[in-house]
A and B are shown apart, each in its own frame.
Chain A
């Protein structure tokens, strides 16, 4: 029987260290599954930071210019990758990766990259927090979306500290006092013009929903998990899938209203009074491997949808499956790092005929853009 060619997926944001990213878990998850052969191509900006971490988790590592600082350079680099590994699907990892690539949607498509991204206008409508019209009938904690460093909109109401701050790209902070809040808001607006969500932190169990919408934003699958263990830096270390029937009446209408094509993460705080909607982020959550293990391989569904194939029908997932994430040190090839630095790419395994050729210029450019 003829062996089928692997499906190539370029992933951004493969980071481990002390805060395993969604990008890393997507790479692990897609390489772990056996139903479809997948070639993971890690797109990294700097060989010494994300590059060194991606070496062990990808079949190919390619240094690219930053999509934010040098979008043209990024697209140019991707064009080369797409030619070599057609058909190529791109899958951003964390929220910041999504926010940096969504504006490049058209450029990526015209250069042969398959993807399933929401539109920029949809992102601007829903992030960092949907307006009240979209959340009609859904409980939310007291919140305010700040569009400048002026705190006056906040002073009109009484706030219960600590307050959670979240930018559009998922960066999160917690302010315990007004003074801290002022500093954090000023810090955010010093380097960003994007709005900032300020929100009270409700008590209750954190329920996270990993969802996937098709090309028209129709939800084709979602999995609910209770996050059991987060470290201080926000990284998820354990979670368990939960029966979503209790929140189905809230989640389904929300997903229908949001009409989000591609992966999306919603969070709720589950209190005695019922579910309270606390957040929305583009992309899969970092516990997405649990959804795959529980029988809903949403990343694989994403690849199918991005290639224009029909999404598979939603099936039930296993409730009560526990994820335990274990930090492990992995030996890393010094020569791989060396090659990444000097030549801008690295292929694991062997020097197969489709291996990318040296383009040290991009490695240098990426380093300078940091």
Chain B
């Protein structure tokens, strides 16, 4: 086995509690790969993100500004970090950070940092608002969706949809509503929290299927692993899942990657209705999913492949993954003196 160059990889998204971000899983995929011998740096904007303390995974951790502070302060923080700890590869794993890194690609390259990302325009093309049209173009079904751009538009949604239906923030967050009171509450909460537009979307019957994919710089699908959730939390997040065979869906994902001219990782969320034989496209996230460790367990270490691509190395399309690989979500406890937490909290204040 040929070992990879010794470089430093920075990974964001270290929240690792009841609804974990993908950062810790991406880092574990790299750390577990025998050919990987680089350093791992964890980046987060909140010292309470517990992944920050996973000392067996990260060599160093730093607090960076929250994505809401914009690309300039993000790059400024990275520049400071690079003075003592030069970073060669950056994996942003939160949606807003992906957009931020895509916007700042040139600045990051100037710092010697490389990412594997589509450009800003491609990222916007998979937004929830654009998704129905995109789904039709690549052969997926799409749930009926209405864009709600003002407070008055909820009434239109109530006329168009039968209960239960989903109300979604345009960026993240969704709530299934079963009556008018719930709809009004959810509408107020989502618009207050995320702003307009919101989306009203019919609920599609079927089983949820998720696909983690990786595209190279020439918009070719080099890896894909399909997973069916076996256990859901109260918030609808998967705590157990299994790899499944999905050749037709992977074919559609190839078309999606070509159409979007996508580069890098993504998660495609779908609902499969076996009775109608239809697959509805629900969401395309511009990053690896939180369950990405399953891809490595199933024989396609997609984060490692992404690392190779980001280094400019050639990556051949992956061999078929093992079907029937299971994962369950558990925890690991890490202990450290509180002074370390306090020091990181102080840094967060300074950012």
Do B338 and A326 touch across chains, with their CB atoms under 8 A apart?
no
Cα A38 to Cα B330 with chains together (Å)? 21
Cα A309 to Cα B233 with chains together (Å)? 41
Cα A249 to Cα B118 with chains together (Å)? 61
Cα A323 to Cα B24 with chains together (Å)? 17
Cα A235 to Cα B19 with chains together (Å)? 12
Cα A328 to Cα B327 with chains together (Å)? 10
Do B53 and A326 touch across chains, with their CB atoms under 8 A apart?
yes
How many whole Å from A210's CB to the nearest CB in chain B? 14
User: From A55, which residue of chain B is reached at the shortest CB distance?
Assistant: B328
Do B330 and A233 touch across chains, with their CB atoms under 8 A apart?
no
Do B231 and A49 touch across chains, with their CB atoms under 8 A apart?
yes
Indicate if A36 sits at the interface (CB-CB under 8 A): no
Indicate if B11 sits at the interface (CB-CB under 8 A): no
- Interface-lining segment among B85-93, B160-168, B235-243, B301-309: B235-243
Task: Collect the chain B residues with CB atoms within 8 Å of residue A333's CB.
Answer: 326
Contact digits for B204-241, partner A, Cβ 8 Å, 1 yes 0 no = 00000000000000000000000000110111010110
Cα A352 to Cα B331 with chains together (Å)? 28
The B interface is mostly helix, strand or loop, or mixed, namely mixed
Chain A, interface size category, equals: 35 or more
How many whole Å from B38's CB to the nearest CB in chain A? 21
- Interface-lining segment among A18-26, A131-139, A187-195, A272-280: A18-26
Do B17 and A231 touch across chains, with their CB atoms under 8 A apart?
yes
Known contacts A17-B233, A28-B333, A327-B24: A240-B338 contact under CB 8 Å = yes
Indicate if B50 sits at the interface (CB-CB under 8 A): yes
- Interface-lining segment among B97-105, B127-135, B274-282, B290-298: B290-298
> Most B CB atoms within 10 A — which of A293, A322, A337?
A322
Contact digits for B34-54, partner A, Cβ 8 Å, 1 yes 0 no = 000000000000001011111
Q: Which of A293-335 contact B (CB under 8 A)?
A: 293, 320-334
Task: Collect the chain A residues with CB atoms within 8 Å of residue B51's CB.
Answer: 326
Do B239 and A18 touch across chains, with their CB atoms under 8 A apart?
yes
Contact digits for A1-26, partner B, Cβ 8 Å, 1 yes 0 no = 00000000000000011111000110
Cα A232 to Cα B297 with chains together (Å)? 31
Indicate if A79 sits at the interface (CB-CB under 8 A): no
Task: Collect the chain A residues with CB atoms within 8 Å of residue B330's CB.
Answer: 16, 20, 24, 53, 56-57, 327-330
Indicate if B337 sits at the interface (CB-CB under 8 A): yes
Indicate if A201 sits at the interface (CB-CB under 8 A): no
Indicate if B83 sits at the interface (CB-CB under 8 A): no
Cα A19 to Cα B237 with chains together (Å)? 12
Indicate if B25 sits at the interface (CB-CB under 8 A): yes
Task: Collect the chain B residues with CB atoms within 8 Å of residue A328's CB.
Answer: 16, 24-25, 28, 293, 329-332
How many whole Å from B81's CB to the nearest CB in chain A? 21
Instruction: For A18, give its contact among B50, B235, B326, B338 (CB under 8 Å).
Output: B235
Do A18 and B341 touch across chains, with their CB atoms under 8 A apart?
no
Do B328 and A16 touch across chains, with their CB atoms under 8 A apart?
yes
Seen from chain A, the residues whose Cβ lies within 8 Å of a Cβ on chain B are 16-20, 24-25, 28, 48-49, 52-53, 55-57, 228-229, 231-233, 235, 237-238, 240, 289-290, 293, 320-334, 337
Which 7 pairs between the two chains have the least Cβ-Cβ distance? A324-B53, A18-B18, A17-B239, A16-B330, A331-B297, A231-B18, A18-B233
Seen from chain B, the residues whose Cβ lies within 8 Å of a Cβ on chain A are 16-20, 24-25, 28, 48, 50-54, 230-231, 233-235, 237, 239-240, 242, 290-291, 293-294, 297, 324-341
